[in-house]
Chains A and B, each alone.
Chain A
Amino acid sequence: MLILFTNQVALSQGLLDGFMRGRGQMVTALSYSYEDYDTYFVGTAKTQNENLGTIKINSVSIFAAAGLTDYLDIVVSLPYIDTRATQGFWSGQKDVQDLNLFLKGRFFEKDFSKKGNLSLMGALGLITPLSDYIADAPVSIGNQSTQLEGRFIAQYSTTSGIFAMGQMGYSKRGNVTMDTGFEVSVPDAWDFIVRAGGSYKKLYADAWFQHQNSRNGTNIGPGIPFPGNEIDFSRIGFTLYHPVPILKNFGVAFSSGFTLMGSNIGISNRFSAALVYHFSVSNTQP
Chain B
Amino acid sequence: MKFNYKAIWIGCSLPLFLCSCEEDIPEMVELPVPNSIAVDTDAGDWQHVMEVDYLSEISLSAPDDVDSDAYRAELGLLAAIIEKMNPEQEKRASYWASGGVLRWNQICRELVAKYNIALPPGAIPDVKKPVANPPFAARAYAMLSVAQHDALIAAWKLKYTVGRPAPSLTDSRIDALFGSTELPSYPSEQSVIAATSIKILTTLFPLETDFLYRLAEEQVNTVRCGGTGTESDIEAGWVLGDFVASKILERASSDRMSRASDPEGTYISFFKIDPSTVPVAWISLANPKVLPILPMYGNIKTWHDSLAVFSALPPPPPNVGTTAFNTDITNVKSISKNRSREQWRIAEFWADGGGTYTPPGHWNEIAEELLVEAQWSEVRTARAFSLMNRAIMDSGVLCWYAKYKYYFPRPSQIDLEIKTSTGIPNFPSYTSGHSSFSSAAGTVLGYLFPDQKEELQRQFIEAGDSRIFGGIHYGFDNVEGRNSGIAVGKLAISEGRNDGADN
Chain A residues at the B interface, C-beta cutoff of 8 Å: 50-51, 87-92, 132, 134, 136-137, 178-181, 221-224
Beyond A90-B420, A137-B421, A180-B348, list 5 extra A-B contacts (CB 8 Å).
A51-B286, A91-B420, A222-B117, A223-B354, A223-B355
Which B residues are CB-close (under 8 A) to A87?
287
**Given A51-B287, A88-B287, CB of A224 within 8 Å of CB of B355:** yes
Distance between Cα atoms of A88 and B288 in the complex (Å) = 11
Chain B residues at the A interface, C-beta cutoff of 8 Å: 113, 116-118, 285-288, 336, 339, 341, 344-345, 348-349, 351, 353-356, 412, 418-421, 424, 471
Which A residues are CB-close (under 8 A) to B345?
179
Distance between Cα atoms of A221 and B353 in the complex (Å) = 12
**Given A51-B286, A91-B339, A91-B419, CB of A222 within 8 Å of CB of B116:** yes
Q: Which of A87, A89, A137, A224 has its CB near the most chain B CB atoms (within 10 A)?
A: A89
Q: Which of A91, A137, A181, A221 has its CB near the most chain B CB atoms (within 10 A)?
A: A91
The answer on a CB contact under 8 Å between A223 and B116 is yes
Which A residues are CB-close (under 8 A) to B339?
91
The answer on a CB contact under 8 Å between A50 and B418 is no
**Given A88-B287, A89-B418, A90-B419, CB of A222 within 8 Å of CB of B353:** yes
Which B residues are CB-close (under 8 A) to A222?
116-118, 353-355
Which B residues are CB-close (under 8 A) to A223?
113, 116, 353-356
Which B residues are CB-close (under 8 A) to A180?
348-349, 351
The answer on a CB contact under 8 Å between A91 and B421 is yes
The answer on a CB contact under 8 Å between A50 and B287 is yes
Q: Which of A136, A223, A224 has its CB near the most chain B CB atoms (within 10 A)?
A: A223
The answer on a CB contact under 8 Å between B344 and A134 is yes
Contact of B348 among A50, A132, A178 (CB under 8 A): A178
The answer on a CB contact under 8 Å between B419 and A89 is yes
Which B residues are CB-close (under 8 A) to A136?
348
Closest residue on chain A to residue B288 by CB atoms? A50
A286 vs chain B, min Cβ distance (A): 56
Which B residues are CB-close (under 8 A) to A51?
286-287
Closest residue on chain B to residue A85 by CB atoms? B419
Distance between Cα atoms of A92 and B337 in the complex (Å) = 10
Distance between Cα atoms of A181 and B336 in the complex (Å) = 23
Q: Which of B118, B286, B421 has its CB near the most chain A CB atoms (within 10 A)?
A: B421
Distance between Cα atoms of A53 and B130 in the complex (Å) = 29
Which A residues are CB-close (under 8 A) to B420?
89-91
The answer on a CB contact under 8 Å between A91 and B287 is no
The answer on a CB contact under 8 Å between B355 and A132 is no
* CB pairs A–B below 8 angstroms (9 shown): A87-B287, A89-B424, A91-B336, A134-B344, A179-B345, A179-B348, A222-B353, A222-B355, A223-B353
Which B residues are CB-close (under 8 A) to A89?
285, 412, 418-420, 424, 471
A230 vs chain B, min Cβ distance (A): 16
Distance between Cα atoms of A136 and B353 in the complex (Å) = 13
B289 vs chain A, min Cβ distance (A): 10
Distance between Cα atoms of A89 and B353 in the complex (Å) = 16
A237 vs chain B, min Cβ distance (A): 32
A41 vs chain B, min Cβ distance (A): 17
Distance between Cα atoms of A222 and B117 in the complex (Å) = 7
Distance between Cα atoms of A50 and B288 in the complex (Å) = 7
**Given A88-B287, A89-B412, A222-B118, CB of A132 within 8 Å of CB of B341:** yes
B1 vs chain A, min Cβ distance (A): 22
Which B residues are CB-close (under 8 A) to A224?
355
Which B residues are CB-close (under 8 A) to A134?
344, 421
Which B residues are CB-close (under 8 A) to A179?
344-345, 348-349
Which B residues are CB-close (under 8 A) to A221?
117, 355
Closest residue on chain A to residue B411 by CB atoms? A89
A217 vs chain B, min Cβ distance (A): 14
Closest residue on chain B to residue A132 by CB atoms? B341
Distance between Cα atoms of A132 and B348 in the complex (Å) = 14
The answer on a CB contact under 8 Å between B419 and A92 is yes
A220 vs chain B, min Cβ distance (A): 11
